[in-house]
Structure 1
Amino acid sequence: MMDKNHGGHQTDHKAKEPAGHEHRGHGGHGKEGKDIIKADKVKAVWTLAGGQKAQAKQDTIIHLEVRNDGKPLDNFDISHEKKLHMMIVSKDLSYFNHIHPAFKGNGLFEIKTQFPAGGDYKLIADFIPTGGSAMSKMEWVHVEGDTATAQPVQPEKELTKAVDGKLVTLQFDSLAANKELMLTYTFKQEKTKTPITNLQPYLGAVGHVVILTESTEEYLHVHPMEETASGPDAQFMTTFPKSGLYKIWGQFKHNDQVFTVPFVINVL
């Protein structure tokens, strides 16, 4: 069964919309600045189809009903080509999946997916109710089956990684809590070290960055400063809310293939 629903941390729309903003916590401001839909009134009810238990490596149908003040919420803004983004992350942060449930109407979203192993996973729904601000809702689900060996969350000394034939480097202009800072990704061909300048749009932007604390309780979804950038750099602005370990997943598209680049950092 699902555990108690948790609200995430969202919405601070930075500088220019829609570029260079992030989702991180509080809800609902209309055009005149009045609270129309408040995040604390919006609840996400998660169930598994047929009351089943989730089994590793088997199809699982997840239902998510979004309610506002107890009533189904039926109107959502399109955010980066989708009404709702769902992240699935294992408790040890070793597994990450960014998927998009289908909207069935009357506040209900549905998706079929598979979990790679038994254990606990956090589900995160990321959406914008029409008339409100971006918000996220989180939930734990337990998956039956053989568990994978837990991977320690350790900060990486070298923030350059080879992924699908590309060398990806992550740099910060500074790295401290409660300070607005720039994340810069740089892309090169792994073999030739030549800059990559033909990144393709992924969900309407050069890339997306999802950030979680080691505890999975703090969640950020950051969008690029220049959505039409194509490399060799992609820049994102964010603020880490507190000190500690964070895992960062950058998602990009090249040669018609989406690739994910994970890094673990320690914020002072």
Structure 2
Amino acid sequence: MFKLNRVFLFDGSKAPQESSHSDGHGGHSHHHHHHHGGGHSESNLKAIFSFPAGTLKANENARINIQIKNSDDTIVKDFELGHEKLMHLIVVSKDLTFFNHIHPEFDGAGEFTIDTTFPTGGEYKIIADVLPKGGSSTTLSEWVKVEGEAEMSGAINADTELMKIVDGKEVELTLSSMNANEEVTLTFNFVDTQTKEGINNLEQYLGAVGHVVIISEDANTYLHVHPMNEAETGPNAAFMTDFPKGGIYKVWGQFQHQGNVFTVPFVVDIK
């Protein structure tokens, strides 16, 4: 079954928030871009990210509380499962070197909570992906500041070769097109580094052969892409999307093999 792609354009005019406390407005994605009839970011919803410790510090346990609110400040309390979870939370550093895909727990009364850690100081974007009951898939984001020493971050450069070795696997990515506003098939191919044989026993991860998250260099565009054939087990896994504009994008493919989830990052230059 072909799954629709979801594309969200965040408001690029917002600077990263200096405060780790959200006022419910700064940096949220009130702009949306509709592709393939996929979900969008509903402007009448907002996410409130709060941190019981008051500040976020590198390499320390950070508890994040999240509430989704309507425009009248009432709390949304009913959500539907999206790929086996009520919320997918994506955390990326400003230079996109750090990526984390985690799943907060829901208390049933309107609050999601998760404990996580940030590896270094600096700015991070937190992206909450939810499906309110009776609504459509919605993504809301916020920039947060993490205290601590920040690593020197360089420019994000496109990979010269789209092949990575992760957990004993050679993973190659091919794109049917490198042009914006065209349907693009992203195909991941998996080969065992020892035997050089194709891996054909990938396992289901969150109800599918894999999940792909794509974020633009400025972190203002977020694409969550589902596989064309969810029941695929390798050695290939194909995903279809389209890039809303040209530029540098980072692609994270997430898959499961022999009980372990592994993440493969690529950087592509879309014309």
Paired letter, 2:254: Q
The corresponding residue for 2:229 is 226
Q: Which residues of structure 1 form unaligned runs of 5+?
A: 15-21, 27-38
Aligned equivalents of 2:36, 2:248: Cα separation in 1: 24
The corresponding residue for 1:36 is none
Aligned equivalents of 2:127, 2:226: Cα separation in 1: 17
**Corresponding residue SS for 2:43:** helix
TM-score (norm 1): 0.89
Aligned equivalents of 2:80, 2:33: Cα separation in 1: 15
The corresponding residue for 1:61 is 63
Relative to 1, partners in 2 of residues 1:107 and 1:11: Cα closer, same or farther, differing over 3 Å?
A: farther
String of CA shifts for 1:68-98, please: whole Å, max 9, x gaps: 2221101111011100000000000000000
- Indicate if the aligned counterparts of 1:83 and 1:128 stay in contact, CA closer than 8 A: yes
Task: Pick one of 23, 28, 42 that aligns with 1:6.
Answer: 28
Relative to 1, partners in 2 of residues 1:116 and 1:61: Cα closer, same or farther, differing over 3 Å?
A: same
Measure how far apart 1:175 and its partner are: 1.4
4+ residue segments displaced more than 2 Å:
8-14
Paired letter, 1:223: H
The corresponding residue for 1:145 is 148
The corresponding residue for 1:81 is 84
Give the superposed CA RMSD: 1.5
Relative to 1, partners in 2 of residues 1:219 and 1:154: Cα closer, same or farther, differing over 3 Å?
A: same
The corresponding residue for 1:162 is 165
Measure how far apart 1:5 and its partner are: 3.7
Paired letter, 1:202: Y
Relative to 1, partners in 2 of residues 1:163 and 1:220: Cα closer, same or farther, differing over 3 Å?
A: same
Aligned equivalents of 1:137, 1:10: Cα separation in 2: 13
Paired letter, 1:91: K
Aligned equivalents of 1:238, 1:173: Cα separation in 2: 10
TM-score (norm 2): 0.88
Aligned equivalents of 2:184, 2:153: Cα separation in 1: 31
Q: Which residues of structure 2 form unaligned runs of 5+?
A: 1-19
Aligned equivalents of 1:237, 1:89: Cα separation in 2: 23
Paired letter, 1:130: K
Aligned equivalents of 2:175, 2:132: Cα separation in 1: 32
Measure how far apart 1:49 and its partner are: 1.1
Task: Pick one of 104, 121, 136 that aligns with 2:124.
Answer: 121
Aligned equivalents of 1:130, 1:136: Cα separation in 2: 14
Measure how far apart 1:12 and its partner are: 4.3
The corresponding residue for 2:200 is 197
**Corresponding residue SS for 2:238:** strand
Aligned equivalents of 2:247, 2:120: Cα separation in 1: 27
String of CA shifts for 1:175-213, please: whole Å, max 9, x gaps: 110111111000000122100000000111100000000
